Amino acid sequence: MTIELRHLRAFLAIAEEGTITRAAVRLHTGQPALSRTLRQLENHLGTRLVDRSTHHLELTAAGRAFRDRAAAALAAVDVALDPRALTVLPLRLGHPWPALGEYTVPLLRRWDREHPGQPLELRRIDDRTAGLARGRADVALLRGEVTEPGLVTELLLEEERVAVVPADSELAGRATLTLADLAARPVALNTVAGTTTLDLWPAGARPPATIEVDNTDEWLTAIAGGRAVGVSTSATPRLHSHPMIAYRPLADAPPVPLFLARRADTPPHPAVPALVRLIRELLSGT
């Protein structure tokens, strides 16, 4: 049989919702019909995508690999069928947290002034590739080590690390902090798109506990609430100020590289060279 877009949408709904029941509600269809659609897709691919042996469905290894391909395919279709893109496709710049830091607003303003006919969309997407793997971004600003296969990266700069502490804590009264200063308290870790792990501290001198979060908002809330401290880069204070949070230089932590990344298996958006050139001009102060 012919596989249609509805098969991909059905599979992605099941993968995201975790059950046939919730996926059927989301797609406004019945459970038997959705199960048949999934079986048709699996029969076409010749492999099992979903493990149905437990109450909560789990993706198989093949299902996890196919999920990103299906999402990227649907994203490409959505872009192609968007009537706004019949003249010029927008350049979608993904980022998982503070974009380009203090250069973000100057980048957007200069781009609009110098490239009025080419839309630039800044998209915050909280995943490890900021939307690249699923086709939701054309290029992305990624911090830290980039381990996702199939990406082409270009180093833009290295950012100094900062300590992030509750504004009413004793640590906020110091001009500069060290990793040892933070080690006695729980540390908040963004496990989806953050650059900090316990490996930043020497073995035997690590924080006693962690608070794991999925995004920057939850990370800021944990610190502002006095439940944890954090480590970030110098870009974060520029875009994420908070009355209950203090940022202090972290004297003994290595810097964090910032990369511009794109997928290697698709042709780059034609406006990417202009974006790279403008970012480098901003970073150099020209």
Break the chain into its structural domains and give their ranges: 5-81, 83-158+257-284, 161-254
- In whole angstroms, what is the distance from residue 47 CA to residue 271 CA? 39
Beta bridge partners of 166: 245
Hey, what CATH class is 83-158+257-284 in? alpha beta
pLDDT band at 282 (very low <50, low <70, confident <90, very high): very high
Q: What is the CATH number of domain 5-81?
A: 1.10.10.10
Q: How confident is the model at residue 246, as a pLDDT? A: 97
Q: How confident is the model at residue 105, as a pLDDT? A: 94
Instruction: With beta carbons less than 8 A apart as the criterion, state whether 93 and 138 touch.
Output: yes
- Count Cβ atoms below 10 Å from residue 181 Cβ, excluding itself: 19
Residue with tokens 């900021």: 130
Residues with Cβ within 8 Å of 68's Cβ and at least 6 positions away in sequence, in order, are: 133, 134
> Would you say the CATH fold of 83-158+257-284 matches that of 5-81?
no
Q: How confident is the model at residue 84, as a pLDDT? A: 58
Instruction: With beta carbons less than 8 A apart as the criterion, state whether 126 and 192 touch.
Output: yes
Residue 16 CA: distances (Å) to CA of 125, 195, 200:
16, 25, 32
Judged by DSSP in three states, 69 sits in helix
Q: Output b/e per residue, 99-114; b: 16+ Cβ within 10 A.
A: bbbebbeebeeebeee
Q: What is the CATH number of domain 161-254?
A: 3.40.190.10
Q: Please check the confidence at residue 151 and state whether its pLDDT lies above 80.
A: yes
Q: For the residues 245-250, what does the mean pLDDT come to? A: 97
Residue-wise pLDDT tens digits, 47-87? 999 987 656 688 898 988 888 888 888 877 877 776 655 55
Residue-wise pLDDT tens digits, 184-207? 999 999 998 899 999 999 999 999
Q: Name residue 87's amino acid.
A: T
